Structure 1
Amino acid sequence: MLTDANTFRRLAAGACLVLAPLCLLLGMVTDPTDPGPYDPLAYARNPAAVGVSATLLHYAWVLFVPGVIGLVHLVRRKGVVLANLAGALTVLGLINFSSLMISDFFDIVLFQRLPAEQAHKIMEEAAQPAMIAAWQLPGMIGSFLGLVLVAVAYARSGRAGWWFPVGVLGGIAVWIYGASSWNELLGFGGPVVLLLVFGFVGVSIIRMPDAEWSGAPAVGAPGLTGPGAGAGSR
Structure 2
Amino acid sequence: MFSLTNADAFRRWAAGVSLVLAPLCLLLGMIVDPLEPGIDDPLGYADNPVATGISATLLHYAWVLWVPGVIGMVHLVRRRGVVLANVAGAVTVLGLINFSSLMISDFFDIAAYRMFTVEEAHKLMNDAAQPAMIIAWQVPGMIGSFLGLVLVAVAYAWGGRAGWWFPAAVPAGIVIWLVGAANWNLWLGYSGPAILIAAFGAVGVAMIRMSDEEWNPGRRQAAVPAV
CA offsets, 1:22-44, max 9 Å, x none?
00000000000111131121001
Length, aligned pairs only: 225
3-state DSSP of counterpart to 2:42: coil
TM-score norm. by structure 2 comes to 0.97
TM-score norm. by structure 1 comes to 0.94
In the alignment, residue 130 of structure 1 is paired with which amino acid?
A
CA offsets, 1:196-227, max 9 Å, x none?
00000000000000000012264699xx561x
Moved over 6 A (4+): none
Aligned-pair Cα RMSD in Å: 1.3
Instruction: Choose which of 209, 212, 215 in structure 2 pairs with 1:213.
Output: 215
Select the structure of larger CA radius of gyration: 1
Greater share of residues in helix = 2
Return the alpha-carbon distance in structure 2 between the equivalents of residues 164 and 62 of structure 1. 21
Aligned to 2:20: 18
Aligned to 2:128: 126
Work out whether 1:52 is the aligned partner of 2:54: yes
Bigger mean CA deviation after superposition, 81-90 or 108-117: 108-117
Give the CA deviation at 1:117: 1.2
3-state DSSP of counterpart to 2:36: coil
Return the alpha-carbon distance in structure 2 between the equivalents of residues 65 and 217 of structure 1. 25
Return the alpha-carbon distance in structure 1 between the equivalents of residues 84 and 221 of structure 2. 31
CA offsets, 1:73-131, max 9 Å, x none?
00001000000000000000000000000000000010111111110111011000000
Instruction: Choose which of 74, 86, 91 in structure 2 pairs with 1:72.
Output: 74
Per the alignment, do residues 220 and 53 of structure 1 end up closer, same or farther by CA in structure 2, a change over 3 Å counting? closer
In the alignment, residue 215 of structure 1 is paired with which amino acid?
P
Is this contact kept in 1: 2:8–2:215, CA < 8 A?
A: yes
Aligned to 1:231: none
Return the alpha-carbon distance in structure 2 between the equivalents of residues 212 and 220 of structure 1. 13
Instruction: Choose which of 197, 200, 204 in structure 2 pairs with 1:198.
Output: 200
